[in-house]
Amino acid sequence: MKNFDVSKLAKMIDHTELKSNSGEKKIKNLCDEAKQYGFISVCVNPANVEFAKKQLEGSDVLVCSVVGFPLGMNTTEIKALEAKKAVKQGATEIDMVINVGAMRDGKHDYIREDIRRVVQASVPAHVKVILETCYLTDEEIVKACELAVEAGAHFVKTSTGFGAFGSFEHHVRLMRETVGPDIGVKASGGVSNFKDAMRMVNAGATRLGTSAGIVILEGAKLFKYAPEAWLEPEIPCHTCPARSASMAKLPKALYQYYTNMCLKCDHREKYNKFYE
Amino acid sequence: MNGWMNKIVKVDLSTGKQTIINIDKDVRRKFIGGRGLGLKLYTDMCSADIEALDKKNALIFSTGPLTGIIQTAGRYQVTSRSPLTGTIIDSSSGGFFGANLKKAGFDGLVITGKSDNPVYLKVTEEGIEIKDAINIWGKDTHETMKILKNELSSNISVACIGPAGENLVPFASIMNDKDRAAGRGGVGAVMGSKNLKAITASGKKQIPVNDPEGLKKMLSTINTLIDKNPVTGKSLQLLGTSVLVNVINAHGMYPTENFKRGVFNDAEGTSGEKIAETILQGRSACFKCPIACGRKTKTSKREGEGPEYETVWAFGAQLGINDLETITEANYTCNELGLDTITTGSTIGCAMELYEKGVFPEKLVWGDSSNLVKLVEDVAYKRGIGKDLALGSKRLAEKYGRPELAMQVKGMEIPAYDPRGAQGQALSYATSNRGGCHMQGYLISPEILGSPVFMDRYSIEGKAEIVALFQDISAAVDSLVLCRFLQFAISIDTFKDMLNIVTGLDYTEDELLKVGTRIYNLERKFNSEAGFTRKDDMLPARFLEEELSEGASRNRVVQLDEMLDRYYKLRSWDKNGIPSEEIKRELGI
């Protein structure tokens, strides 16, 4: 652990800029930073793919485009078309959002087909399937992972960063256990420092989606000093999705789901004082 | 040598004699500049039996190899012995004075002796002149700067004392570039004890840089790192340091009424957000700094700078006062008269509690702002009860028989974070070489702000390691003489890169960190020789025995002893907190 390799960590990061107010200047900076810090890719909206590709000419930084982003509620045809266009413009990775509502309704065939069509349209690019884990139960996350594997996806991914909360170790571990060692798992949303990053990697993530890549790498340089101290376990509630469940942001049923998760948790008695 | 002007001058004010001090290459490598070099020069010249206000005491102004080159590096460090605490003191100030001193051709000034009459030092490319200061003695800091600028040039930087320094108030500050302060520990009183009113600095000399192209890229990288970090890239820019008021209050560790409580019900009315809505006129920045955390403000009476977070607290929650206009006026007055706002406010808070307990003769009550500005003036001039308050909280509380009511460590008042809400910060306060200080190891960063990562603020596990690490990094950065805020965004590796690009030397990050360790241990060694031991690495009993009754840090006390044992062991200090022969040998001190 003492020789934590910062450059290897950089090669796991999709350097991300997906805000609606990001103009070309920001995308140019994003690309320059990705080259400087050695990130594996830049992750941008489809409208910025062509521009990003030009900025990255001559470098080994990949372009990743989101599709059906951030709600996942476009029709399958539109998602496939959007993916095809992005690949044509230079994207070698596609991060698509599933139709979360359909997943909640149990329309598994629809989800499988939705993913399969995007995978097909994206060849030769790799496809990462965003589950938006905050809106799914553990059972639904497992099922969605299985559907993604069946449909030929290369990665499953936790979050858009626009949902009720981002990625949690609990979900990443569940996804890794479900997809096995041959499929990638990308943790995204809320990965803002090197401890978050390490937590996700230790849970099974092979890729990290974040706009805080530079902050993470700069902070990670401190890790070699006092590594045990930095890794002191936090109060488990601080890293539990149930703790982040917000009544205002989640539908009633999911809020109750997470509240129940918390009520049944073994840690509750010991750390109950933090709920006062 | 690149990065340096290669000139440090000792000025003996008793004789007027000036001597160039040659710095050995090995010393420069081991202590760099600023806090490190100042400390080395000080401890070589002054033993622990020289009192702070003795004319034999030295007062050292020092810059670093990055001064006048890198963002925020307009700063300077002042090293001496503190009249407030009796410890070694280093006090740092922003602005432009450090850069101007260096561009005049000087890496530092060592002031010894005492002038018979008030004088100031005029530092230019031509050299140092000792000038008569009789016409500015007695003037406040703003007037002093104005007069000197009118007399000399508008392009000069002035570092000076106000009436508080002249009157030897043990927490008098040195002010420069209008409202920047070397605030803590009473370096202004040391300056006053030498009859030295001011130092002016100006020059246009080029500072040699080893790798100009590399420097260009580094300056851009620094800007990126500052911009990407949420603290330096957003919070400090938008709301200044007072962004912390609501944050710390929400954590239940915003000290209220002399640390009796951790939640101030009126915090919102004195917050950074409220400052932005009401008195804010604009931002101000130190040398090349993109953060620009300074706040230009305006009350109904006048304009000025601040208040900063610590000052908002010291004249606000600490006294139960919610009147932002008066808090701001008290801040302006401290700046003008040359007083440390933290110690001034905290001492008044101590007096309020002494009054509440029935042992202080003057009526001072929580929340009463009507007399606050006058009280501050009385402190600077040691008038009326100001004479008592000018003792600082430790001596004041001892005088009135209730020493436990002074919220201090080693005589320096603890700033605006209740240690019961952050165990690491508590250890940092207790072991700071200059007393109750948050700057030598800012554990609020990981414990509250999550930078670089979140640590469990209630846990004592791993805190000794991180406190020692932060203290050593801070000492190293103070030797480059950069702003503490850069440490939110920049790692020791990048600081090392800056140093090597400018100087052409080949420091590794481990060697730079070891410079910090060496400084921390040498400071500790001096303090040990001055009689400080484990008994002084102690927090007021309030933090060890009384739980906070409300807010997010309630039902907590500081678990100091356990952390101290671990910390001493880690530092290779004995059970009494004295550095071992082995560590002294290893560090060459």
Kindly give, in sequence order, each residue whose CB lies less than 8 Å from that of residue A246, ignoring residues fewer than 6 positions away.
A164, A165, A255
Nearest-neighbour CA in chain A from B226: distance (Å): 9
- Cα B115 from Cα B55, distance rounded (Å): 9
Q: Is A218's CB within 8 Å of B466's CB?
A: no
The predicted-structure confidence for A189-212, as pLDDT tens digits, reads as follows 999 999 999 999 999 999 999 999
ipTM of the complex: 0.89
- Cα B90 from Cα A75, distance rounded (Å): 65
Three-state SS for B236-288 is: HHHHCHHHHHHHHHHCCCCCECCCCECCCCCHHHHCHHHHHHCCEEEEECCCC
**Using a CB-CB distance cutoff of 8 angstroms, which residues of chain B are in contact with residue A5?**
none
**Amino acid identity, residue B31?**
F
- Cα B86 from Cα B52, distance rounded (Å): 7
B454 touches chain A (CB under 8 A): yes
Mean pLDDT of A234-241: 85
Q: pTM of this prediction?
A: 0.95
- Cα B243 from Cα B254, distance rounded (Å): 13
Rounded alpha-carbon distances, angstroms, from residue A5 to A9, A112, A237, B255, B396? 6, 37, 28, 41, 53
Kindly give, in sequence order, each residue whose CB lies less than 8 Å from that of residue A147, ignoring residues fewer than 6 positions away.
A108, A111, A112, A115
Both tokens of residue A180?
Answer: 């096995």
Kindly give, in sequence order, each residue whose CB lies less than 8 Å from that of residue B47, ignoring residues fewer than 6 positions away.
B529
Nearest-neighbour CA in chain A from B225: distance (Å): 7
- Taking CA–CA distances from A217, the nearest residue in chain B reads B491
Nearest-neighbour CA in chain A from B494: distance (Å): 8
Q: Which of A221, A244, A272 would you mutate first to test chain B, the one with the most B CBs within 10 A?
A: A221
Both tokens of residue B439?
Answer: 């700057």
**B119 touches B112 (CB < 8 A):** no
Nearest-neighbour CA in chain B from A235: distance (Å): 7
Kindly give, in sequence order, each residue whose CB lies less than 8 Å from that of residue B281, ignoring residues fewer than 6 positions away.
B296, B297, B298, B303
In the predicted structure, residue A188 carries a pLDDT above the cut 90: yes
**Using a CB-CB distance cutoff of 8 angstroms, which residues of chain B are in contact with residue A36?**
221
**A166 touches A193 (CB < 8 A):** no
- Cα A41 from Cα A52, distance rounded (Å): 10
A72 touches chain B (CB under 8 A): no
Architecture of domain B242-406: Orthogonal Bundle (1.10)
**Using a CB-CB distance cutoff of 8 angstroms, which residues of chain B are in contact with residue A232?**
455-456, 459, 461-462
Per the annotation, the verdict on A11 as an active-site residue is no
**Using a CB-CB distance cutoff of 8 angstroms, which residues of chain A are in contact with residue B228?**
212, 214-215
Of A192, A221, A232, Cβ closest to residue B459 = A232
Q: Between 3.40.366.10, 3.20.20.70, 3.20.20.10, 3.60.21.10, what CATH number should domain A6-225 receive? A: 3.20.20.70
Q: Which class for B362: exposed (0-12), middle (13-18), buried (19 or more C-beta within 10 A)?
A: middle
Buried-state track A226-237, b at ≥16 Cβ within 10 A, e below 16? beebbbbeebbb
The predicted-structure confidence for B231-279, as pLDDT tens digits, reads as follows 999 999 999 999 999 999 999 999 999 999 999 999 999 999 999 999 9
The predicted-structure confidence for A128-164, as pLDDT tens digits, reads as follows 999 999 999 999 999 999 999 999 999 999 999 999 9
- Going residue by residue through chain B, which has 589 residues, state the pLDDT in tens, using 9 for 90 and above: 899 999 999 999 999 999 999 999 999 999 999 999 999 999 999 999 999 999 999 999 999 999 999 999 999 999 999 999 999 999 999 999 999 999 999 999 999 999 999 999 999 999 999 999 999 999 999 999 999 999 999 999 999 999 999 999 999 999 999 999 999 999 999 999 999 999 999 999 999 999 999 999 999 999 999 999 999 999 999 999 999 999 999 999 999 999 999 999 999 999 999 999 999 999 999 999 999 999 999 999 999 999 999 999 999 999 999 999 999 999 999 999 999 999 999 999 999 999 999 999 999 999 999 999 999 999 999 999 999 999 999 999 999 999 999 999 999 999 999 999 999 999 999 999 999 999 999 999 999 999 999 999 999 999 999 999 999 999 999 999 999 999 999 999 999 999 999 999 999 999 999 999 999 999 999 999 999 999 999 999 999 999 999 999 999 999 999 999 999 999 999 999 999 999 999 999 9
Nearest-neighbour CA in chain B from A213: distance (Å): 9
Residue B174 pairs with which residues in a beta bridge? B182
- Catalytic member of A53, A84, A143, A186: A186
Report domain extents, chain B. 8-201, 242-406, 419-587
Per the annotation, the verdict on A186 as an active-site residue is yes
If you average pLDDT over every residue of chain B, what do you get? 97
Both tokens of residue B580?
Answer: 């071992």
In the predicted structure, residue A274 carries a pLDDT above the cut 70: no
**Using a CB-CB distance cutoff of 8 angstroms, which residues of chain A are in contact with residue B550?**
none
Of A36, A193, A219, Cβ closest to residue B491 = A219
Q: Is A221's CB within 8 Å of B228's CB?
A: no
Phi, psi dihedrals of residue A122, rounded to the nearest 5°: -95, -10
- Cα B250 from Cα B262, distance rounded (Å): 9
What pLDDT is stored for residue B540 in this prediction? 98
Judged by DSSP in three states, B230 sits in helix
CA dihedral sign of residues A219, A224, A229, A232: positive
Per the annotation, the verdict on A249 as an active-site residue is no
∠ CA B151-B14-B136 to the nearest 5 degrees? Answer: 25
**B418 touches B544 (CB < 8 A):** no
**Using a CB-CB distance cutoff of 8 angstroms, which residues of chain A are in contact with residue B221?**
36
B136 touches chain A (CB under 8 A): no
* Per-residue confidence band for A33, with pLDDT thresholds at 50, 70 and 90: very high
Which residues of chain A are in CATH 3.20.20.70 domains? Answer: 6-225
**B549 touches B261 (CB < 8 A):** yes
CATH 1.10.10.10 fits B419-587, yes or no: no
Kindly give, in sequence order, each residue whose CB lies less than 8 Å from that of residue A228, ignoring residues fewer than 6 positions away.
B462, B465
A226 touches chain B (CB under 8 A): yes
* Per-residue confidence band for A272, with pLDDT thresholds at 50, 70 and 90: low
From A112-116, A226-230, A265-269, the region with the lowest mean pLDDT:
A265-269
- Cα B34 from Cα B210, distance rounded (Å): 20
Q: Is B489's CB within 8 Å of A222's CB?
A: no
What pLDDT is stored for residue A275 in this prediction? 44
Q: Using alpha carbons only, how large is chain A's radius of gyration in Å?
A: 18
End-to-end CA distance of chain B: 24
- B209-217, long-range: CB within 8 Å, 24+ apart, which pairs? B209/B2, B209/B3, B209/B69, B209/B501, B209/B502, B210/B2, B210/B3, B210/B500, B210/B501, B210/B502, B210/B503, B210/B504, B211/B501, B211/B502, B211/B504, B214/B501, B215/B69, B215/B501, B215/B502
Buried-state track A49-73, b at ≥16 Cβ within 10 A, e below 16? bbbbbebbeeeebbbbbbbbbbebe
Share of residues in chain B with pLDDT > 90 (%): 100
Other CB atoms within a 10 A radius of the CB of residue B16 amount to 11
DSSP secondary structure code for residue B232 in this structure: I
Architecture of domain B8-201: 4-Layer Sandwich (3.60)
